Each structure stands twice: as structure tokens, then as C-alpha cells.
């Protein structure tokens, strides 16, 4: 499967309805954030605050350009602000970007630090940013999608970080999950971003391009079938299904041999309604009044 190789989907990626060329201006000023050197550097501050906080650390030379582009875009600042504006959390959860901890992107719950304190946090290493740019560059090569690999990295990270925020909410708010938590928080990310004027369906669509690139980059191994995540190819179709289901009129182009099978597309409107209804109910007790 090579989604963006389809002329239909290349045109979709360039369309105004996805707003892929808007919403994250390349030169947007980022909100100031104090640099950190490790998760322990923010643990003391976390004890006095509640909600998600964004922290930018240091990056290796080969990761700096990607990290600076993401920071300048302001997308991560807007995402954290959106979640904090909507929901109440019992404590602060730092969202760390940097190369101090080369693990992730992932949510780490209740980690015991060297000084004995405990901290729950999201970590996002610079290596993943450069991996995304390389993978999305191959995915977009030879197309007229109207989006650069760096822009695509920013849009895809909106979804990836929202996914990790979903894990944090499940843990911190003790939200019940039936089935795979990974699938559930994919649904949360789509629910959070799709109707937001600062994000919209571009986030899930670009995440689909990212997972399509990952799927095309390697053969499946036995461990992939045992993994807690759905297969990359399955996530691609799920993200496309939610995108189509959220607005069937504008995203009809997603249906066909290069995208969603007609049989699956017929269920996507109801699937999208179910995701919204479920997450809306689960998070209702924690909404800011």
C-alpha cells in the first residue's frame, strides 16, 4: 500500500478541506519554555502544578533542525493548551522534548527518579523527529501533495502527542478501557483534534501517511503480531476511516482501491460517532466548567 502515490490521495493532501497548508505557520512564534536537562529537573515544579506542561530540552546536532522547526511552529504549545483548557487533571504531567532520554515517544507513569521522587511524564526524543521527516519524505516523493516533509512531521506529531496524552489521561483519571488501550487512545487523539480549528482532520490523515511509510519500510515480524499496537497497516485504514466518517461529503475521495474499501467506508460514519460518543462520556466528569 502506498497511499500518497494515488493521484486521488495526493490531491486530497493538497486540498483546502484538509487545511494541510494552513494552521501551523512555519514562522509562528513559540511560547517561551524553560530548557530542561532531565525528567528530574522538572519534578519539583510538577508537584506544584496541575495539567500538562511543555518542556524543551537539548538536542543532538543532527536532531536540532527538526526540533527547532517543531518548536517554532507552536503546534505543541497549542495542543497542550487545548487539553488543559478542556480537562482537569490531579497533577502536572510534563511533556518533554529532548535527547536526554532516548526512549519514546511514550508515556511513562510513576517513574522513580534518582532522588527518590516519582514523576509521570511524556517523553519525545529528537531521533523520532528525524525518523519521521525521512519516512514522510519518501512517502511524499514525486507527489504534488503541497506539503514538505517537515510540515508533515509537525502535523503527524499533533496526532502522536495527542495519542500519548490519551495514555496519560487513562492513567491519571482512571478511565476504563476495554480492548487495546493503544487503539482506544488513537480514538482519543482523533476525537480531540478533529473538530479543533487549530488542528482538524489533517492530523489523523498525516498520521496515516506516517504509518503507511512505516509499513512500507520493513517486513512484518512475529513480534509485530504480539505487539500491543495494531499493525501499522491497520492503523492507516482506521485513521482514514475516522477522517472519512467525520465528513463523508468532503472526504469521499478516500474511498476506492487506493484508499478505504467501500465495505469499510460504509461503517465509518457510525464508527466516528461511536468514538465521539464514548470519549465524550468518559471525559465528561473531568471537563472544566
pLDDT in tens, the chain (289 residues): 444 444 344 444 444 234 333 333 333 333 333 344 455 544 544 445 789 999 999 999 999 999 999 999 999 999 999 999 999 999 999 999 999 999 999 999 999 888 888 899 999 999 999 999 999 998 888 777 788 999 999 999 999 999 999 999 999 999 999 888 999 999 999 999 998 988 988 888 888 888 777 766 566 566 654 455 556 788 888 989 999 999 999 899 889 877 888 999 999 999 999 999 999 999 999 999 8
User: Which is it for strands 92-97 and 51-56: parallel, antiparallel or unpaired?
Assistant: parallel
Give yes or no for a contact between 80 and 94, defined as CB atoms under 8 angstroms apart: no
Q: How many separate domains does the chain show? A: 1
Does residue 133 sit within a domain?
A: yes
Angle CA 43–71–9, to nearest 5: 125
Distance CA 182, CA 168 (A): 12
User: What pLDDT is recorded for position 281?
Assistant: 97
This prediction has a pTM of 0.81
User: What pLDDT is recorded for position 6?
Assistant: 42
DSSP letter (8 states) at residue 89: -
Question: Helix, strand or coil for residue 110?
Answer: strand
Does residue 289 sit within a domain?
A: no
The boundaries of the domain holding residue 115 are 3-284
Give which of 97, 94, 91, 144 is closest to 124, Cα–Cα. 97
Helix axes 262-283 and 181-194, enclosed angle (nearest 10): 90
Give which of 130, 126, 243 is closest to 190, Cα–Cα. 243
User: What pLDDT is recorded for position 4?
Assistant: 44
Does residue 46 sit within a domain?
A: yes
- φ, ψ (nearest 5 deg) of residue 162: -60, -35
Angle CA 170–172–175, to nearest 5: 35
Amino acid at each position: 500500500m502506498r497511499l500518497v502515490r494515488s493521484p486521488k490521495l495526493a490531491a486530497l493532501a493538497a486540498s483546502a478541506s484538509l487545511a494541510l497548508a494552513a494552521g501551523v505557520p512555519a514562522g509562528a512564534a513559540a511560547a517561551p519554555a524553560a530548557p530542561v536537562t532531565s525528567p528530574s529537573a522538572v519534578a519539583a515544579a510538577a508537584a506544584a502544578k496541575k495539567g500538562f506542561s511543555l518542556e524543551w530540552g537539548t538536542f543532538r546536532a543532527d536532531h536540532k533542525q527538526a526540533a527547532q522547526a517543531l518548536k517554532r511552529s507552536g503546534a505543541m504549545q497549542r495542543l497542550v493548551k487545548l487539553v488543559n483548557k478542556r480537562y482537569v487533571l490531579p497533577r502536572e504531567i510534563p511533556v518533554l522534548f529532548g535527547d536526554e532520554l532516548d526512549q519514546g515517544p511514550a508515556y511513562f507513569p510513576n517513574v522513580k527518579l534518582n532522588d527518590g521522587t516519582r514523576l509521570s511524564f511524556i517523553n519525545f526524543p529528537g531521533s523520532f523527529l528525524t525518523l519521521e521527516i525521512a519516512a514522510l519524505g519518501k512517502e511524499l516523493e514525486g507527489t504534488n501533495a503541497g506539503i514538505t516533509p517537515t510540515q508533515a512531521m509537525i502535523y503527524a506529531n499533533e496526532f502522536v502527542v495527542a495519542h500519548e496524552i490519551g495514555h496519560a489521561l487513562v492513567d491519571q483519571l482512571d478511565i476504563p478501557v476495554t480492548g487495546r488501550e493503544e487503539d482506544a487512545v488513537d480514538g482519543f487523539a482523533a476525537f480531540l483534534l478533529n473538530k479543533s480549528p487549530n488542528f482538524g482532520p489533517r492530523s489523523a490523515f498525516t498520521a496515516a501517511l506516517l504509518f503507511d511509510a512505516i509499513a512500507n519500510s520493513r517486513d512484518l515480524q512475529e513480534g509485530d503480531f504480539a505487539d500491543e499496537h495494531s499493525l501499522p497497516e491497520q492503523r492507516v485504514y482506521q485513521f482514514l476511516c475516522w477522517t472519512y466518517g467525520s465528513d463523508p461529503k468532503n472526504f469521499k475521495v478516500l474511498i476506492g482501491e487506493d484508499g478505504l474499501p467501500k465495505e469499510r467506508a460504509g461503517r465509518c460514519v457510525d464508527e466516528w460517532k461511536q468514538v465521539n460518543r464514548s470519549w465524550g462520556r468518559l471525559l465528561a466528569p473531568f471537563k472544566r466548567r
